[in-house]
Amino acid sequence: MSLEESTPETVEQTTAEEIDALLGDLVIDRDDHLNAPGFVVRPDEVQDTLFRLRDEAGYDHLSCVTAQEYEDRYESIYHLKKYDDPTDEVSVVVPTPTDDPVSESAEPVYRTADWHEREAYDLVGVQYEDHPDLRRILLPETWQGHPLGRDYDQDRPQIVPLREHANPLQEDHQSDAGDTMFLNIGPHHPATHGVLHLKTVLDGEQVVDVESDIGYLHRCEEQICQQGTYRYQIMPYPDRWDYISAGLLNEWAYARVAEDLADIDVPEYAQVIRTMGAELCRIAAHMLAVGTFALDVYGDFTAIFMYAVRDREKVQNILEEMTGQRLMFNYFRLGGVVWDLPEPREDFFELIRDFLDDLPEALEEYHDLISANEILQVRTVDTGVLPPEVAKSYGATGPVARGSGIDYDLRRDDPYGYYDELDWDVPVEDGCDNYSRLLVRLREVEESAKIIEQCVDLLEDWPEDERTIQSNVPRTIRPDDDTEIYRAVEGAKGELGIYVRADGTEKPARFKIRSPCFSNLQTLPEMSNGEYIPDLIASLGSLDIVLGEVDR
């Protein structure tokens, strides 16, 4: 954190006893998790519970919703935090019987529950009363069964009725009234880093409504992780969630939750290496975001896009020297990293310093070509507006939230690694528009460079006999049965969290991924309704989503 900035005011945390008193008779049981106290409530009291926690205790961030099925019940867990202090957490646990898995929807309290509960219904089978649009979100409407349910038959053939093969556009070009037109955008868009289908309703050239159709890439990452052992078999997969550049940031999300679950320490030397590698990944991710954003806004496939790819390649070269891979790094290990920095160390540090020395001039070029560009300003200033309270209701995080004036960054607010020992700032812009999100990413590249430079200084002087890259980790990790934990890190796109429930074996019983892209993409209609089609494309680009992380 910056030593120049004033220290934020300390926010007093709400104790479990205070929450218990606040909720009163709504609580029917307690179910403490490692990260937060858990309060069990009846399925018909969900909204009352969440309204009290949001309005009277300040839990304004519904971070994640996890659904799972036990032998005797279904369970929905609402992971709540505060934007002012994300370490102040509480879990609301809602059990429902297996023969009637119905509970109240949280959507009237937190808008982000819309998509999270649709996913829980789609994959697990929990029904949510009062939900505004409870239907599948990742799988086709014709899908039979719920893949994460206990009785799901993977070998059952999926039958698609003939009517589903009808041309979806046949009756949708124009409504009977003639005032609106339906327009499909996608499912292949050049800058979405995957496939996305936007079902858009237009009034002339203005957007009346837009619905994001996701789920094309679904790779069952959560189930893959549930079939892998904690120590050896899960770590390679986080690289593949945001497969563009953010591999080490994703690996850290799993490392943090597993290390806290199994009470594993990480040597200080390895923490510095992790911090440096993670910020290199953040720069690489933001370079691609900036380059493709310019491509989205005014079709710049020449100077800006190629400059961004050029600078991203320099980062990839450093990461390749460090990890042996260019994208799927698999460099973190529980308790540290897989190996030390490459030899000769002097050459490696020189490679990083050369990149950092050139970066200020490169960033000046970006500002000349992008942020100072009149065309881009006309297209991005005051377009895609996302007010801070709306962003909070949707659980927006990362540059999307910070571009709306929300000062929320887990590296500072819920410290891990070596971040709290370093001097850096959290960039925040209050324009709430597409331009602000661009500025935040450019400024974050500068801050990442400051962090990397300090890490290099530390690593250069680190005594050779104290370079411990891993702690002593048991060969087999078996957390206690029914242990539950949720942990998150600040990914390139925002809060990347993981919930794990252990069952006493060496594999997780439930592995739930909280993707920042999933929550951020949900804000697109709020940003686009009433604006023009090109503004919709600019807003989509400003979210910097990776579809592999959206549907996981």
Q: Rounded to whole angstroms, how far apart are CA atoms 377 and 142?
A: 44
Look at residue 134 and give its three-state secondary structure: coil
186: confidence class by pLDDT, cuts 50, 70, 90 = confident
479-532 residue pLDDT tens:
999 999 999 999 999 999 999 999 999 999 999 999 999 999 999 999 999 999
Residue 34 pLDDT exceeds 70: yes
Q: Rounded to whole angstroms, how far apart are CA atoms 370 and 290?
A: 9
> Do 192 and 186 meet the contact criterion of CB atoms below 8 Å apart?
yes
> Do 491 and 498 meet the contact criterion of CB atoms below 8 Å apart?
no
| Per-residue pLDDT at 51 | 97
Buried b (16+ CB within 10 A) or exposed e, 280-293: bbbbbbbbbbbbbb
Q: Nearest 5°: phi and psi at 444?
A: -70, -30
| Per-residue pLDDT at 187 | 77
Residue 301 pLDDT exceeds 90: no
162: confidence class by pLDDT, cuts 50, 70, 90 = low
> Distance of alpha carbon 480 from its chain centroid, rounded?
28
190: confidence class by pLDDT, cuts 50, 70, 90 = low
| Per-residue pLDDT at 4 | 43
Burial of 224 (0-12, 13-18, 19+ CB in 10 A): middle
Q: Rounded to whole angstroms, how far apart are CA atoms 215 and 155?
A: 21
Q: Rounded to whole angstroms, how far apart are CA atoms 126 and 329?
A: 36
| Per-residue pLDDT at 6 | 42
Which range is least confidently modeled, 42-51, 158-167, 237-246? 158-167
164: confidence class by pLDDT, cuts 50, 70, 90 = low
* Residue 187 preceded by cis peptide, ω within 30: yes
Q: How many other CB atoms are found less than 10 A from the CB of residue 303?
A: 13
Residue 178 pLDDT exceeds 70: no
38-82 residue pLDDT tens:
999 999 999 999 999 999 999 999 999 999 999 999 999 999 999
Tell me the pLDDT of the chain averaged across its residues: 91
Of the chain, the percentage scoring pLDDT greater than 70 comes to: 94
| Closest residue by Cα to residue 527 from 428, 427, 405, 387 | 387
Residue 170 pLDDT exceeds 80: no
Question: Six-digit token pair at 70?
Answer: 């036990």
Question: Six-digit token pair at 283?
Answer: 């720069």
Look at residue 187 and give its three-state secondary structure: coil
State the sign of the Cα–Cα–Cα–Cα dihedral 34, 35, 36, 39. negative
Residue 27 pLDDT exceeds 60: yes
502-516 residue pLDDT tens:
999 999 999 999 999
Rg (CA), the chain: 23
Look at residue 3 and give its three-state secondary structure: coil
Q: Rounded to whole angstroms, how far apart are CA atoms 248 and 462?
A: 22
Q: Nearest 5°: phi and psi at 341?
A: -65, 155
159: confidence class by pLDDT, cuts 50, 70, 90 = confident
Which range is least confidently modeled, 219-223, 321-325, 333-337, 428-432? 219-223
Residue 36 pLDDT exceeds 60: yes
Q: Is the model more confident about 241 or about 439?
A: 439
> Distance of alpha carbon 484 from its chain centroid, rounded?
20
314-334 residue pLDDT tens:
999 999 999 999 889 999 999
| Closest residue by Cα to residue 481 from 459, 499, 513, 508 | 508
Q: Rounded to whole angstroms, how far apart are CA atoms 347 and 371?
A: 34
7: confidence class by pLDDT, cuts 50, 70, 90 = very low
Helix axes 533-543, 268-298, angle to 10 degrees: 170
Q: Which residue has the tokens 């289908």?
A: 197
| Percent of the chain as helix, strand, coil, to the nearest 5 | 40, 15, 45
> Distance of alpha carbon 56 from its chain centroid, rounded?
27
24: confidence class by pLDDT, cuts 50, 70, 90 = very high
Phi and psi based region of residue 170 (left: phi greater than 0; alpha: psi -120 to 50; beta: remaining): alpha
Question: Six-digit token pair at 206?
Answer: 């203005």
Q: Rounded to whole angstroms, how far apart are CA atoms 243 and 519?
A: 18
Output the pTM of the full model.
Answer: 0.92
| Closest residue by Cα to residue 193 from 236, 242, 251, 249 | 242
Cross-strand pairs, 490: 495
Q: Rounded to whole angstroms, how far apart are CA atoms 445 and 422?
A: 16
What would the mean pLDDT of 94-123 be, rounded to a whole number? 96
| Per-residue pLDDT at 219 | 81
- Residue type present at position 368: D
> Do 542 and 434 meet the contact criterion of CB atoms below 8 Å apart?
yes
252-272 residue pLDDT tens:
999 999 999 999 999 999 999
